[in-house]
């Protein structure tokens, strides 16, 4: 059986993919850890780090979207497309669309929640960012669970994305995963 031809993503897209993936996993883990901690200076520091990472996620997402618009992603290889059932193609596109939407929604909801709760976002402790919404306890009560549930939805889509990539690599052995590898051939 011949080795399938792999059309790679642009190197900037590859780097942003992995940077964003690490930032999302790290920030999700930090969010889970800090949420139930008792009030303390450490908890306040973790919240600051979480917000800073959220701004980085938002920045990486914007750059990634612009990169994707300027350097279109490679089409699925014909052999992969031909053997992929319609429901898998739909899942592939829906997962990517959902991830892109949540790359922006999750940090923006977090920023809005922080603003509504009266906790300004001061990037790296030195650059105050504008409040996204006015201080409002009622609005904060609405935004907090939206931020949490959208983060959980993004985590679920990330897991689905990883499962799909691993299926292509270990089950289908179609070389699809190499398109996003850090080092290419």
- Which helix (H) or strand (E) segment holds residue 2: the answer is none
By three-state DSSP, how is residue 122 classified? strand
Tokens representing residue 57 in the block: 């996620």
Quick one: which of 50, 40, 39 has its CA closest to 147?
50
Is 1's pLDDT higher than 50? no
| Averaged pLDDT of the chain | 92
Task: Write out the two tokens for 21.
Answer: 């993936």
Pair 124, 4: CB distance under 8 Å? no
Q: Which tokens hold the place of 109?
A: 């909801």
Distance between CA atoms of residues 86 and 82, nearest Å: 10
Specify burial of residue 158 (Cβ count, 10 A radius: 0-12, 13-18, 19+).
Answer: middle
Q: How far apart are CA 81 and CA 112, in angstroms?
A: 40
In a 13 Å sphere around the CA of 25, the CA atoms on its Cβ side amount to: 8
Angle at 117 between CA 114 and CA 123, to 5 degrees: 30
pLDDT at 184: 57
pTM equals 0.91
Please provide residue 122's backbone torsions phi and psi, each rounded to the nearest 5 degrees.
Answer: -115, 100
Tell me the per-residue pLDDT of 55-78, one tens digit each, with 9 for 90 and over.
999 999 999 999 989 988 888 888
Rounded to whole angstroms, how far apart are CA atoms 21 and 27?
A: 10
* pLDDT > 70 fraction of the chain, expressed in percent and rounded: 95
**Tens digit of each residue's pLDDT (9 = 90 or more) over 87-124:** 999 999 999 999 999 999 999 999 999 999 999 999 99
């Amino acid at each position: 059986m011949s080795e399938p031809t792999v059309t790679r993503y642009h190197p900037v897209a590859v780097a942003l993919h992995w940077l964003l993936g690490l930032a999302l996993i790290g920030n999700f883990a930090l969010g889970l850890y800090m949420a139930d901690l008792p009030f303390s200076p450490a908890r306040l520091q973790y919240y600051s780090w979480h917000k800073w990472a959220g701004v980085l996620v938002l920045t990486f997402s914007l750059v990634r979207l612009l990169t994707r618009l300027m350097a279109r992603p490679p089409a699925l290889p014909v052999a992969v497309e031909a053997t992929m059932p319609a429901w898998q193609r739909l899942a592939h596109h829906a997962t990517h669309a959902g991830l892109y939407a949540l790359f922006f929604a999750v940090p923006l909801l977090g920023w809005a929640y922080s603003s509504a709760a009266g906790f300004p976002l001061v990037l790296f402790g030195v650059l105050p960012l504008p409040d996204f919404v006015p201080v409002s306890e009622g609005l904060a009560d609405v935004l907090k669970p939206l931020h949490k549930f959208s983060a959980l939805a993004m985590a679920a889509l990330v897991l689905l994305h990883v499962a799909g990539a691993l299926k292509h690599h270990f089950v289908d052995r179609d070389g699809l995963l190499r398109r996003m590898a850090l080092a290419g051939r």
